């Protein structure tokens, strides 16, 4: 891509973010009565459920704070972020300190799950909000949540297990989410633990999950890194591994374009693009089997919105870091597929769920798992990536 | 349908069962080393996983015993049933008495879930096997498991909850599975508790879940039977409700064609056929929303094999009980769709998972949730339905 194309792309992402994605959600989603956000919305924005998904309450507060910190200091963004932070603190922690997963509009708990993702998203929300507001208490909370997450990730703190000890396994999700959590802490309030931990989690991914011999990034493996040859153990999540690829490419940028990390991130992207991209009908498959056997999960060949957000970021990152035209081409492919198939030109934002053939499977823009996160993060991050690339280039 | 058509249909179901469905599974699926069955198989029968799903181990032992009891007393079926019964007893109960959900080939536990379906399937397996073998111990075990299931169903025995008490709900799955479990006990070893309990569970369905005002059978409701107007509470499972319809039509037959039960079963079928049948592309949708809003579950508009098995049985039952040609027509529609789209003429048996448009989403014939149960049960049950109808008619 030439400079002119990159400048156009930057304008496109910024414009989509500010004039298409954000207006779908705000201001109507801010709950002025109970705090937090009302995000479960149909295509036209009508509310389909007033419950609140705790992951997404945290992600939304993070997004709004981040826009304030990095786009412009609009008071409405800061106020809206505060509504989420207050709701999280008032209603989303159980008496034992663990966070809920799903609460009612007025904050009564519906479900607590055996994961700590609510905690990671609450952590980055508090960190970004602390930077935006200067609120020391929020910064303290972010650090305390980071400590809790590290304890879970290290196995020092345990959640009730879903499986017995018969066939132990570890997932790539933990080191991935922790890299991202630490990175957000670095960018906002800073934390002396971040660098060392990020290096440790990258090593875990590299040595445990990236399999060069079969050109694959595993979603889960045995504790020694070997492949578990059963349906679950063989299941790959290409979009998730591609998200992991850009987390590592982002670290490469923060370490003076560290060639080892660039190579690692690009290998992860290469392997999982090859396995995930649907050569026949376009888009990224949700799940694949490492040995090309049938996958259990029913939605395995559907096209979900978020793997496409991750692939848009990963391909652009790889291109800007390496100049390899292959990545520019992949970026254009996934960008074109996504904005053609997922984007709703009538009401803004993206649909979440397409059939394999690219037709819309259901119309919700927000539900228990989808909200203002992956898409606006992608548009925001790509805008910034291009901004710093073009700025640097100009010098 | 005229008599000649019904005779042809009877021959079709028997032939499919004995010469297409069963040969896909047996004898190759009997695990001569550890007992139980190796059922996770791809389209051509090759094994994709040697783990064992406990629900399906029980269902398979039930099927084999039932074939022995009701088709002909083939020693190979009885021996194969024993392999499953022995495996269940040796490996599938935890020390606390609760059953596992998923074990390794050699019976080491992988996962225990917060449901008691493993117990209901083990119960009917033991009951049918007790009748086939005359084994008094198996009969005792069946009765003890039935007691346990009643205790769970009545709330006397509790499993760890998945949700908090904030928004209590009850599901149609419990009274449905219990009607079927009790019916199987009646047909095999008999149990004095069955009749009264079956009547109670039918009342629970009729008063709690069947909504005549909106022509709908709910999948879950609040304890007082009101609709929970949130995504989960609004989600309908038409194929499951249609299964409930034929359980009730079956009870109608056992009670001298009780007109109230015929009416109830037919209403349930009518309501959910209307909501579940895909007018545009044929087949039965997996999930629908009671108010036609987007459903959370990703696979909501896919066509799964088992709702079609249930609809084939329900429409035939309704037709034979009422003579209403509408049901004959529905039967022909769902029969034609299913044997055209799900059936694999090359290797036998059915594929499990189609896209909305009827194309195959993945090729497995067996996995954690699919095995020799819904399809052979449908073929076996329709054969028997037609048999007794045609016999009676002849008198």
**A89 CB burial (10 A radius; 0-12, 13-18, 19+):** middle
A166: nearest CB among B110, B298, B301? B110
What are the structural domains, with CATH classification, of chain B?
A: 1-26+209-395 (1.50.10.10), 33-178 (1.50.10.10)
CA distance A301 to B230: 28
Say if CB B110 and CB B100 are below 8 A apart: yes
The partner residues of B288 in beta bridges, in order of sequence, read: B236
Instruction: Please give the pLDDT value at position B68.
Output: 98
Note the pLDDT tens digit of each residue in A256-281. 999 999 999 999 999 999 999 999 99
pLDDT over 80 at A362, yes or no? yes
> How far apart are the C-alpha atoms of B203 and B217, rounded to whole Å?
14
CA distance B261 to B75: 38
Mutate to test the interface with A, among B298, B359, B369 (most CBs of A within 10 A): B298
Sign of CA dihedral B353, B355, B357, B360: negative
- Residues from chain A that touch B368, judged by Cβ atoms under 8 A, are 231, 296
Average pLDDT estimate for B82-111 = 97
Q: Is the pLDDT of residue A394 over 90?
A: no
Kindly list the residues from chain B whose CB atom is less than 8 angstroms away from the CB atom of residue A293.
42, 48
Residues B51, B134: Cα–Cα separation, whole Å: 30
Q: Do B367 and A300 touch (CB under 8 A)?
A: no
In this predicted complex, what is the ipTM? 0.95
Give the residue on B whose Cα is nearest the Cα of A108: B166
Each residue of B35-82: pLDDT tens digit? Answer: 999 999 999 999 999 999 999 999 999 999 999 999 999 999 999 999
- What is each CA distance from A303 to A332, B72, B134, in whole angstroms? 17, 48, 53
Does residue B395 have a pLDDT over 60?
A: no
CA neighbor of A111 nearest in space, from A159, A31, A53: A53
Residue A395 has pLDDT above 60, yes or no: no
Tens of pLDDT, residues B240-272: 999 999 999 999 999 999 999 999 999 999 999
Q: What mean pLDDT comes out for the span B83-98?
A: 97
| pLDDT given at position A57 | 98
Does B296 score more than 60 pLDDT?
A: yes
C-alpha distance from A260 to closest chain B C-alpha (Å): 37
User: CB–CB of A361 and B230 under 8 A?
Assistant: no
Contact A299 B295 (CB under 8 A): no
DSSP lists the bridge partners of residue B47 as B41
SS3 (DSSP) at A269 = helix
**Residues in Cβ contact with B73 at an 8 Å cutoff, skipping those fewer than 6 apart:** B132
Q: What is the mean pLDDT of residues B76-90?
A: 98
- What pLDDT digit, counting tens, does each position of A65-112 carry? 999 999 999 999 999 999 999 999 999 999 999 999 999 999 999 999
| pLDDT band of B161, cuts 50, 70, 90 | confident
> Given this model, what pLDDT does residue B217 score?
98
Residue-averaged pLDDT of chain B: 97
Q: Give the closest of A112, A230, A364 to B49, CB-based.
A: A230
Q: Which residues are CB-neighbours of A222 under 8 A, at least 6 positions away?
A: A167, A168, A169, A170, A228, A233
Mean pLDDT calculated for residue range A232-249 = 98
Question: What confidence tens digit (pLDDT) does each residue in A201-219 have?
Answer: 999 999 999 999 999 999 9
Which is it for strands A40-41 and A47-49: parallel, antiparallel or unpaired?
A: antiparallel
pLDDT the model gives residue A393: 60
Q: Is the pLDDT of residue A132 over 80?
A: yes
Given a contact cutoff of 8 angstroms between Cβ atoms, the answer to whether B61 and B81 are in contact is yes
Residues with Cβ within 8 Å of residue A336, at least 6 apart in sequence: none
The Cα–Cα gap between B88 and B35 comes to 9
Q: What is the pTM of this model?
A: 0.96
Amino acid B160: pLDDT: 87
List residues bridging with A236 in a β-sheet: A288
Output the CA torsion A377→A382→A384→A389 (10° steps). 160
Give the Å distances, CA to CA, from B140 to A109, B84, B87, B366: 42, 17, 17, 31
Say what the pLDDT of residue A7 is.
97
> Nearest-CA distance from A155 to chain B in Å?
20
Band the pLDDT of A161: cuts 50, 70, 90: confident
Tell me the C-alpha to C-alpha distance, in Å, between residue B156 and each of A361, B149, B152, B175, B203.
Answer: 41, 10, 6, 15, 19
Contact A224, A162 (CB under 8 A): no
pLDDT tens digits, A4-43? 999 999 999 999 999 999 999 999 999 999 999 999 999 9
Work out the number of other CB atoms within 10 angstroms of the CB of residue A4.
Answer: 8
DSSP of A85-140, one letter per residue? HHHHHHHSB-TTSPBPSEE-TT--EEE--SS-HHHHHHHHHHHHHHHHH--HHHHH
Environment class of residue A346 by beta-carbon count within 10 Å: exposed (0-12), middle (13-18) or buried (19+)? exposed
């Amino acid at each position: 891509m030439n400079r002119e194309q990159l400048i156009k792309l930057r304008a496109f992402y910024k414009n989509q973010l500010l004039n298409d994605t954000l207006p779908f959600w705000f201001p109507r989603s801010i709950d002025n009565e109970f705090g937090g956000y009302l995000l479960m919305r149909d295509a036209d924005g009508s509310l389909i459920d007033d419950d609140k998904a705790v992951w997404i309450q945290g992600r939304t507060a993070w997004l709004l704070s981040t826009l304030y910190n990095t786009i412009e200091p609009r008071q409405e963004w800061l106020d809206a972020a505060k509504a989420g932070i207050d709701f999280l603190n008032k209603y989303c922690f159980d008496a034992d300190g663990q966070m809920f997963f799903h609460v009612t509009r007025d904050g009564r708990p519906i479900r607590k799950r055996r994961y700590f993702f609510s905690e990671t998203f609450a952590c980055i929300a508090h960190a970004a909000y602390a930077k935006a507001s200067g609120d020391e208490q929020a910064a303290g909370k972010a650090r305390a949540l980071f400590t809790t997450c590290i304890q879970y990730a290290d196995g020092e703190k345990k959640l009730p297990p879903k499986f017995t000890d018969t066939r132990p396994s570890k997932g790539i999700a933990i080191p991935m989410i922790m890299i991202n959590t630490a990175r957000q802490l670095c960018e906002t309030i800073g934390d002396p633990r971040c660098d060392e931990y990020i290096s440790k989690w990258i090593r875990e991914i590299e040595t445990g999950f990236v399999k060069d011999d079969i050109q694959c990034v595993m979603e889960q493996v045995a504790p020694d890194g070997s492949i578990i040859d059963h349906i679950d153990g063989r299941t790959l999540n290409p979009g998730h591994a591609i998200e992991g690829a850009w987390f590592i490419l982002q670290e490469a940028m923060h370490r003076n374009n560290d060639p080892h990390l660039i190579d690692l991130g690009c290998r992860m992207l290469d392997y999982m693009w090859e396995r995930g991209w649907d050569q026949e009908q376009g888009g990224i498959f949700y799940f694949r089997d490492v040995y090309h056997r049938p996958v259990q999960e029913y939605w395995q060949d559907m096209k979900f919105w978020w793997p496409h957000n991750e692939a848009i970021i990963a391909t652009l990152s790889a291109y800007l870091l390496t100049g390899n035209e292959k990545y520019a081409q992949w970026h254009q492919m996934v960008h074109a597929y996504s904005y053609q198939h997922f984007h709703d030109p009538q009401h803004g934002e993206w649909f979440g769920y397409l059939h394999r053939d690219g037709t819309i499977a259901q119309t919700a823009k927000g539900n228990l798992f989808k909200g203002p996160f992956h898409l606006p993060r992608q548009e925001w991050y790509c805008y910034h990536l291009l901004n710093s690339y073009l700025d640097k280039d100009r010098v």
